[in-house]
DNA sequence: GTCAACCCCCCCTTTTGGGGGGATTGTTGA
DNA sequence: TCAACAATCCCCCCAAAAGGGGGGGTTGAC
């Protein structure tokens, strides 16, 4: 395991990472792997098959027809596995999907289509870095086979470090450190209240200040984020970690 | 390790998780741990010291005066460790902080203040779940001691699963599974565009339909979510998993 | 003495929220 | 097979809220 981490850290080439992942996937008793970011692919080039420097992470040894179907049908938009991977930070077996999300008919149909393409059960390690596309490293067995229960912990580690290796291959080529936008405490309070659907007047009553002041804070925050609408401002504040989504639902 | 995971999964009580973490922290050769979400606390209650059901994750056996200082000075807003933990998805030693973020003077000062309070080097496992506050599980040694290099992989696993255990204690305590509101595909498109800051008129041009129709979809979606403002609608749609946060930032 | 955070007021346009009224499809289940 | 229903569209009106300018001021930290 330690040697996998050390090797993966030194990689500078997607193909090397792919080969490394392929061998460790077999070693752990899985049949296929897929390391990917969950981006609705339609607006982009159809590049899931390999990694493009400075762009998206996407490596996999899934059967080719499944990869093509995945791209053509834009399955990334509703794959239950990927939805579930946005609900946790540790790996999960696909057989436990229903504990993470509410499985509806299209989800079952999707899993069934996978089985017909040879994709059976799987273990998915989520990889979510704020400000980047959500991603996951998926290890799967052929339909009919069982997951190698004893290797799941290993898969958890491999998945995390593999994804990080992918990120680092990309970001080494790119160097884009985005500074977290600074907001004043008062501004964060206003944004939180905006997120809860309050009007400026209501916020002014809650904070005990003038409506015009509330407008000032919000306008300044929008300017800092370089956006024009308060919806965008709230989204950005969530992404930045200034607000937890759960605070806004109360 | 496997037994830690199994036990942590069964926990329903913050105190039990705290005890479990405390013992495994020592076992791995660390001196302290801190499991927390990185929420700017000033606008909210000051509750870092323990876990509040349905609210934030926060457990730690740091020296008490350090916890207090942490809260009082709202260190969470600029702690370099927490900033760095939002730049990766795998654990990192604090001595490698400079590979993740640009360390400025206030950051060095913060690390120095930590050392004076007995907090030396550390290993931090990030835990970022989209839509929730960013979090981390931190394992630290007293100033002057070395990190237990051989246990870092273990710490990576323990950190991930411990955080997940914390999340599940909270979410299990919350009113359980909320039915995901059904939205039509066209509505989701509109909501996504609203989230990107488009006006109704712009959305109508993008989708090639009348502005009034866009209004209809949005009004209907707000009604389904039982909210009045479009900000709330977008937030709810994100929480539901109808939209990934990353889609809205493009 | 500069700067950021905090606070307040004005004006005007555009966008939104919240009603009302229609129509056409395709699916679904009694 | 036919009624019910959900999804897709379109139009009207009006009041409230947000967006985008401008102009002030105090305080405390560096």
Residues of chain B with CATH 1.10.10.10: 185-249
State the SS3 of B126-187.
Answer: EECCCCCCCEEEEEEEECCCCCCHHHHHHHHHHHHHHHHHHHHHHHHHCCCCCCCCCCCHHH
Burial class (CB in 10 A: 0-12, 13-18, 19+), A146: exposed
User: What's the pLDDT score for residue A56?
Assistant: 53
CB A37 within 8 Å of CB A132 = yes
User: Nearest Cβ partner of A89 from B86, B128, B234?
Assistant: B128
Asked if the C-beta of A101 comes within 8 angstroms of chain B's C-beta atoms, the answer is: yes
Quick one: pLDDT band at residue A87, thresholds 50, 70, 90?
confident
* Token pair in block for residue B198: 């488009």
Window from A41-55, A229-243, B143-157, B228-242 with minimum mean pLDDT: A41-55
**What architecture does CATH give domain A185-248?**
Orthogonal Bundle (1.10)
Kindly tell me if the per-residue pLDDT of B187 is higher than 80. yes
User: Nearest Cβ partner of A164 from B90, B164, B179?
Assistant: B90
CB A34 within 8 Å of CB A71 = no
CB B29 within 8 Å of CB B149 = no
pLDDT tens for residues B53-110?
A: 344 567 888 888 887 777 666 666 667 888 788 788 899 999 988 888 767 666 787 8
Residue B121: what are its φ and ψ, rounded to 5°? -85, 165
pLDDT tens for residues B190-246?
A: 898 999 999 999 889 888 889 999 999 999 999 889 999 999 999 988 877 677 676
Residues of chain A with CATH 1.10.10.10: 185-248
CB proximity B142–strand D (7 Å threshold): no
* Better-scored residue on pLDDT, A18 or A78: A18
User: What's the pLDDT score for residue A173?
Assistant: 44
Residue the block writes with tokens 């998926």: A138
**What architecture does CATH give domain B2-173?**
2-Layer Sandwich (3.30)
Quick one: pLDDT band at residue B11, thresholds 50, 70, 90?
confident
CATH number for the B185-249 domain, one of 1.10.10.10, 3.40.50.80, 3.10.180.10, 1.20.1300.10?
Answer: 1.10.10.10
CA neighbours within 13 Å on the CB side: how many for B47? Answer: 13
Specify whether domain A2-174 bears CATH 3.30.450.80. yes
Kindly tell me if the per-residue pLDDT of B145 is higher than 50. yes
User: What's the pLDDT score for residue A44?
Assistant: 32
Rg value, chain B, Cα: 21
Residues of chain A with CATH 3.30.450.80: 2-174
Q: How far is the CA of B213 from the C1' of C22 (A)?
A: 13
Q: Are strands A92-93 and B135-142 parallel, antiparallel or unpaired?
A: unpaired
Residues of chain B with CATH 3.30.450.80: 2-173
**Chain B 5-34 contacts with nucleic strand D (CB below 7 A):** none
Residue the block writes with tokens 């997940």: B164
Residue the block writes with tokens 């059967």: A63
Rounded Cα distance, A26 and A148, in Å: 11
Q: How many CB atoms lie within 10 A of CB B52?
A: 14
Cα three-residue angle A123-B179-B131, rounded to 5 degrees: 60
Rounded Cα distance, B137 and B34, in Å: 6
Rounded Cα distance, B201 and B215, in Å: 9
Mean pLDDT confidence for A152-157: 94
- Closest nucleotide (C1' vs CA) to A217 is C6
Report chain A's mean pLDDT, rounded to a whole number. 80
Residues in A 201-220 with any Cβ partner in B closer than 8 A:
none
């Amino acid at each position: 395991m330690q040697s996998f981490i050390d090797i993966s850290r030194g990689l500078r080439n997607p193909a090397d990472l792919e080969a490394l992942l392929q061998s460790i996937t077999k070693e752990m008793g899985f049949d296929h792997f897929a390391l990917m970011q969950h981006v609705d692919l339609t607006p982009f080039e159809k590049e899931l098959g390999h990694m493009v420097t400075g762009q998206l992470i996407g490596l996999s040894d899934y059967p080719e027809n499944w990869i093509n179907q995945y791209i053509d049908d834009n399955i990334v938009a509703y794959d239950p596995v990927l939805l579930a991977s946005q609900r946790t930070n540790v790996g999960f077996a696909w057989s436990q999907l229903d504990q993470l999300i509410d499985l509806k008919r299209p989800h079952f149909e999707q899993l069934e289509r996978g089985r017909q393409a040879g994709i059976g059960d799987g273990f998915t390690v989520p990889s979510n870095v704020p400000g980047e596309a959500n991603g996951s490293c998926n290890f799967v067995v052929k339909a009919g086979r069982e997951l190698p229960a004893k290797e799941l912990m290993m898969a958890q580690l491999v998945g995390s470090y593999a994804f990080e290796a992918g990120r680092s291959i990309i970001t080494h080529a790119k160097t884009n450190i985005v500074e977290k936008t600074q907001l004043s405490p008062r501004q964060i309070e206003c944004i939180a209240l905006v997120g809860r659907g309050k009007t400026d007047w209501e916020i002014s009553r809650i904070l005990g200040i003038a409506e015009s002041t509330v407008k000032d804070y919000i306008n300044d925050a929008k300017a800092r984020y370089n956006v024009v609408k308060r919806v965008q401002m709230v989204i950005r504040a969530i992404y930045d970690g200034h607000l937890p989504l759960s605070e806004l639902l109360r």
